[in-house]
Amino acid sequence: MFSRVLIPTFFRRALSKASSPRVVSLRKEYPALFELALPLNPKSGIEEPVPYNQMLVWKCPNGADHEWSMPVSDMIKRLKSGSVHALCPFCTGGRISETNRIAGNFPLLEEEWDQKRNGGLMPTRITYGSTHPYWWTCKCGGDHHFMASPNRRTDLNLQCPFCAGRCVSVTNNLYNNYPELSSEWDKEKNGSLSPKEVLHTSRKIVWWKCPQGHSWKDSVYHRTIGHVGCPVCSISPFISVATRCPSLVAYWDYSKNLQSSPESTSIGSRKRAFWKCSACSASFSSVVSRMYSQFVMNGECLCPKCAAKQS
């Protein structure tokens, strides 16, 4: 039990302590904060103990525009929770500064910034440490548009994914870089997949069909970089119709075989060609290798109707 004399004294002391503002000496207790407060505050105002919640202006030496206002209490909390370098909101990327924005610090990123796709936002308003993804446009290709965060582009040196060969573009697809191989693309067996949709360095295995009609599977990389050709033609040397059987050339229908000739067609080709019947002169279609075999056996180049009459 408190005595009647002590009770009023106890409450008076408690009330007095509660009403007295807490003060701190920056110079003695927090010298790191004192150095940041010294440039922009009257020296006389911070030499003496200052109220714990006093608002001061702070100045970081790492940038001309690194100035900010913050209560002493918040700065003390920052100091206790991290290092001295975490005190400045500009150094930590919390606020935009000339020292941490994209513009002026990363010329390539500033050049590739896609202002239109980013809704008019300028690189002067974005820190290079931002983890938010933005649009970029590389100057190496008209379709080189991609999204990435400034943080990934600066810390990881992330370049254009099209130039790096990670995404398909008009500048790196099979169709534009190897038109001669694109002509051997087996459209029927590859379905909806097109040479325009495949990297010319892709390891993807697809179907091919050589001019002689041989179909096989191989990776795009083997064909473009490894210079691997048709496995059948590479074993059997190319022998044209004109070389192996000059007499058969007389029945070659040049008016209809506009894309090929006896000199460019293999004698063992499985492709069809047009011929003129040696009996009735009618034009008809037949597989090259089959026509050659029949001509060697019979000495004639007959259309189906004339061949049926002689059988």
Measured CA to CA in angstroms, residue 267 lies from 180, 184, 282, 289 at distances of 22, 19, 22, 6
Give, rounded to a whole angstrom, the gap between the first and last alpha carbons of the chain: 135
Single-letter code of the amino acid located at 289: S
Residues 264 and 240: beta-carbon distance below 8 Å: yes
Q: Among 222, 176, 217, 229, which Cα is nearest to 198's?
A: 176
Residues 59 and 34: beta-carbon distance below 8 Å: no
C-alpha torsion sign, points 178, 179, 184, 185: positive
Q: What is the CA radius of gyration of the chain?
A: 41
- Residue-range domain boundaries for the chain: 6-86, 174-235, 241-310
Please give the chain's pLDDT, 311 residues, in tens. 444 445 555 555 554 444 556 898 888 999 999 999 888 888 777 788 889 899 999 999 999 999 999 999 999 998 988 776 788 999 888 899 999 999 999 999 999 999 999 999 999 999 999 999 999 999 999 999 999 999 999 988 889 999 999 999 999 999 999 999 999 999 999 999 999 999 999 999 999 999 889 999 999 999 998 888 888 877 667 889 999 899 999 999 999 999 999 999 988 888 999 999 999 999 999 999 889 888 877 788 999 999 888 76
- Express each pLDDT in 139-181 by its tens digit: 999 999 999 999 999 988 889 999 999 999 999 999 999 999 9
Residues 175 and 194: beta-carbon distance below 8 Å: yes
